[in-house]
Structure 1
Amino acid sequence: MPQQKAVIIGAGIAGIATAIRLAVKGYAVNVYEANGYPGGKLSEFEQSGYRFDAGPSLFTMPQYVDELFALAGKNPANYFTYQKLDVVCKYFYEDGTRLSAYADTKQFAEEIETQTGEPATAVIKHLANSRDIYSITNHVFLERSLHRLKTYLRWDTIRSIFRFPQIDPFRTMHKANASGFKDKRVVQFFDRYATYNGSNPYQAPATLNVIPHLEHHFGAYFPDGGMYSITKSLVKLAEELGVKFYYNYKVDEIVVINGKAKGIRAKGENVLADVVVSNMDIWFTYNRLLSKHPQLHPKKTLNQERSSSALIFYWGIKKQFPLLDLHNIFFSADYKAEFKHIWQQQDIYHDPTVYLNISSKLKPDDAPDGCENWFVMINVPANNGQDWERLITDARTNIIAKLSRLLGEDLPPLIVNESILDPRSIESRTSSYKGSIYGTSSNNQFAAFLRHANQSSKVEGLYFCGGSVHPGGGIPLCLLSAKIVSGVIN
């Protein structure tokens, strides 16, 4: 029997992981990537002696990366190493409060009590609830397709269904947190986790309170070569398994004949395959690659609310700040107003919450001696035609003023170089519709069920992976989407 062929559209992290899994299953796998590099959002660049991880900067659930090497019979440590963080993130509030989010649960709860007066027992209780939500949802919502009958016939799924009220789907995340904590700073701290999948804590279901468990149980990590080493190590593994990557190779069409995916069309030629997997955003998959087949388009899914996007400033800073850590958050004084601007007004609040990542804290050669590489990000709305030049200019001014005030330092003279990534460039570089980072938002209590499936119900041999489909965005979920796809392909 001839070897079966698989074509993967897009070399994002999910596309690479799918390629590895299918190669292990015996497929001949070709990956076609429009950019000249792999990784999608998980890429890197350099400017004037400073190296930056361009996209995701928080690394959790490393077991899903290690699993790919083990699956291929390789020792993960020979390809990819990482270190666990003792402090996940440092937090700065406008009232002067500072928190260190220790990885150790007991130490973290005591830190909360010391800095805010919120009882440590309340924090422990909240994290226990987070653990329970994870135990109910993990094997059902994250590791399996929600669109196959046999998922619901499993005993662990049935048990999870009986425990459904425990995942708290009918309250918003904010209401749940406000009922569990008295201190507004602690409520704001736990509300922030909604932004991990581009959602609004004042709308998203309290089920998202599962996210703290990922940090405070499994921990947060830093890859020894920076975040892009995840991409590089997995590409190396894939190539060793025989996967072929074609860069600067834009796919124009998924070829569908008589209800079956037969391959792709790119650069004027047809590439035949038994299986086609799209790692492209689901909106562009249908509207670009399946434009000849409008009857296949899931219009309700494609019209769902998009997740938030990001505005990122990459700054080379000619000074070091001992006060700062790898991950740092500078909170807005009015969180509700900030989210109202993002979601209702579709613009940027004058006092945004600022995330600051400095990989040179743990990888010193990412910046010149005595300097730091600052990845400065705020959450912003998806691109709906706003005046981004004005928004970027105003946001830059407000961010610099905020950081200068809270750090007691005049920042402008310290910024020696700058690059900017906004929703428009996120869309153009990564084919993320409207620049939304996580596909559709999770501002609906049924969002987990409304995400696009990993397998087409209308086209035989067509599959989907990545952050715009089930189970969602972010590195761990993208890797799980690859696992699900591999599981449903024979």
Structure 2
Amino acid sequence: MKKNCIVIGSGFASLSAACYLAKDGWNVSVYEKNDSLGGRASQFVKGGFTFDMGPSWYWMPDIFDKFFADFNKKTSDYYQLDKLSPAYKIFFSDDIITIGDSMDKICVEFERIESGSSKELKKFIREAQINYDIAINKIVLRPGLSPLELVTKETILKVDQFFKTISSQVRKRFKNPKLISTLEFPVLFLGAKPSKTPSFYSFMNFADFGLGTWHPKGGMYEVIKAMQNLAIELGVTMHTSMPIDKILVSNGKATGVSSGGKIFNADVILSGADYHHSESLLEQKYRQYSEEYWDKKVFAPSSLLFYIGFDTKLKNVEHHNLFFDTDFELHAKEIYDNPQWPSNPLFYANFPSITDTSMAPKDCETGFFLVPIATNLEDTQDLRDQYFELIMNRFELRTGQNIRNNIIFKEIFCVNDFKERYNSYKGNAYGMANTLTQTAFLRPNLRSKKVTDLYFTGQLTVPGPGVPPALISGKLVSELIIKDN
């Protein structure tokens, strides 16, 4: 007889797990609290403008390819994928670095900034590629149950890289601060300072320079729609606008969930919702981790986000743009070391309609601005407005254009919204940081240690933050569930 699994949440990890379990013959039901699927990868549409509310970088295309291949499908069965050229621009106070769509183009740009740097860059990326192969084909495919999972003949040779930092390794090879910032940027996706991130994670630099930056036509939400369609093809049922208020446990075994006074029973419960929130749905005695545990963990930043519709095409920008025209170190300290609203923040600006005209009306631009900030900050309208002015001033200065009069509308999303919409712990945007003491088996478990048949997936557990890791997390937990049952 088929077994039943209830999946709480519908982000990348939840949908991934739902597909793998359904493929194995399970009856799978997904329950989402919001009115549309996707979790933090939601979509916002207004007046012909389309915004990805969360992830907007499509990196590691091989991970997406592998996911769909597991179901004898291809990404092209569901969405069109284009490689961005250039991948992105980085604005500094006195220069702009353009990251091209090939190593040759990137090497030329590095040489322009620092003579002889291209030789070091090629060596660095070759080593990063070896790390990528070990990470993606060995380490991340393990469920984080034991420290021995990290011990392979490949990782033994790399053990020193778990105790050195990205920052130290980059600074050993490159002297120009702009190139250092360019190479330290990708680990920000892992949610920690480069000076706290093991140098093994240089594999993110290979993901960036080696594999390139891509864009699914219509935006990242097309991937969510693809996974939803695949899940439905496999027999998964979807329920939206159904927040779960309790995980039911009987004699130490998860037996179901309740939503709005109704009870839904299942053989296995899997939560892809925020891990801290998921445990709050249990009686105290069934929770694995205390409030003190969560409070001591290093969380990836939250974000202040502006979604803006412009009635004109913008100049001097690309699809992805990073504004590193202020003090990188100071901003990092104001996120991690001394949490406060940043005095002069770095920020990111995304204009997908530059390469994908389907995402904005004709002669208009879809704009998404992101300021990384510490978690759990005070979030008021005054602060949101203050930072909007600060960001717009810098954007207009660096790109040489006045755009405020071209704003049709703007929507703002910040700490309070992350808490309310996603039940996000302290309003974090990206989950728990991948520091040395929060890697692999040192992260919260995929399987509950206190409740039988209760499992977790997503960015707070194994393997960590980011969209490709979320796809892998869903696969890992599904394999664990299948093995246990």
Report the TM range for the smaller structure's normalisation: over 0.9
What SS does the aligned partner of 1:128 have? Answer: helix
Aligned counterpart, 2:152: 158
Cα shift at 1:480: 0.5
Q: Is the 8 A contact 1:301 1:450 kept in 2?
A: no
Q: Is the 8 A contact 1:98 1:115 kept in 2?
A: no
Aligned counterpart, 1:51: 50
Cα shift at 1:72: 2.8
The TM-score normalised by the length of structure 1 is: 0.93
5+ long unaligned stretches in structure 1: none
Q: Is the 8 A contact 2:41 2:221 kept in 1?
A: yes
| Change over 3 Å in CA distance of 1:210–1:247 after alignment to 2 | same
- Which letter maps to 2:262? E
Aligned counterpart, 1:349: 342
Q: Is the 8 A contact 1:118 1:181 kept in 2?
A: no
Aligned counterpart, 1:33: 32
- Which letter maps to 1:422? C
Counterpart pick for 2:244 among 228, 237, 251 = 251
- Which letter maps to 1:204? T
Once the two structures are overlaid, the 10-residue window that deviates more, 325-334 or 388-397, is 388-397
Q: Is the 8 A contact 2:218 2:358 kept in 1?
A: no
| Change over 3 Å in CA distance of 1:137–1:233 after alignment to 2 | closer
Counterpart pick for 1:320 among 304, 313, 322 = 313
Distance 2:273 2:447 in 1: 14
Aligned counterpart, 1:208: 201
Aligned counterpart, 1:363: 356
Aligned counterpart, 1:10: 9
Asked if residue 417 in structure 1 is aligned to residue 415 in structure 2, the reply is: no
What SS does the aligned partner of 2:246 have? Answer: strand
Matching of residues 378-389 of structure 1 within 5 Å: 378-384=371-377, 386-389=378-381
Matching of residues 42-441 of structure 1 within 5 Å: 42-95=41-94, 97-117=95-115, 119-148=117-146, 151=149, 157-166=151-160, 168-287=161-280, 289-294=281-286, 296-297=288-289, 301-303=293-295, 304-384=297-377, 386-441=378-433
5+ long unaligned stretches in structure 2: none
Distance 1:185 1:76 in 2: 35
- Which letter maps to 2:36? Y
What SS does the aligned partner of 2:444 have? Answer: coil
| Change over 3 Å in CA distance of 1:332–1:352 after alignment to 2 | farther
What SS does the aligned partner of 1:276 have? Answer: strand
| Change over 3 Å in CA distance of 1:46–1:71 after alignment to 2 | same
- Which letter maps to 2:78? Y
Counterpart pick for 1:486 among 460, 478, 484 = 478
Distance 2:374 2:422 in 1: 17
Query: How many pairs does the alignment contain?
Result: 481
Cα shift at 1:118: 5.4
Alpha-carbon displacement from aligned partner over 1:117-163 (angstroms, at most 9, x marks no partner) = 452111112212212322333334311112158846xxxx4213412
- Which letter maps to 1:317? F
Cα shift at 1:65: 3.0
What SS does the aligned partner of 2:137 have? Answer: helix
Distance 1:279 1:351 in 2: 35
Distance 1:242 1:451 in 2: 32
Cα shift at 1:176: 2.1
Taking only aligned residues, the RMSD between alpha carbons, in angstroms, comes to 2.0
Distance 1:44 1:328 in 2: 20
Once the two structures are overlaid, the 10-residue window that deviates more, 32-41 or 256-265, is 256-265
Once the two structures are overlaid, the 10-residue window that deviates more, 181-190 or 55-64, is 55-64
Alpha-carbon displacement from aligned partner over 1:310-350 (angstroms, at most 9, x marks no partner) = 11111112222342111111113211111112223322333
What SS does the aligned partner of 1:296 have? Answer: coil
Distance 2:379 2:216 in 1: 37
Q: Is the 8 A contact 1:301 1:451 kept in 2?
A: no
Once the two structures are overlaid, the 10-residue window that deviates more, 346-355 or 53-62, is 346-355
Q: Is the 8 A contact 1:251 1:264 kept in 2?
A: yes
Distance 1:232 1:159 in 2: 39
The TM-score normalised by the length of structure 2 is: 0.94
Q: Is the 8 A contact 2:18 2:231 kept in 1?
A: yes
Distance 1:395 1:468 in 2: 28
- Which letter maps to 1:396? F
Cα shift at 1:391: 3.0
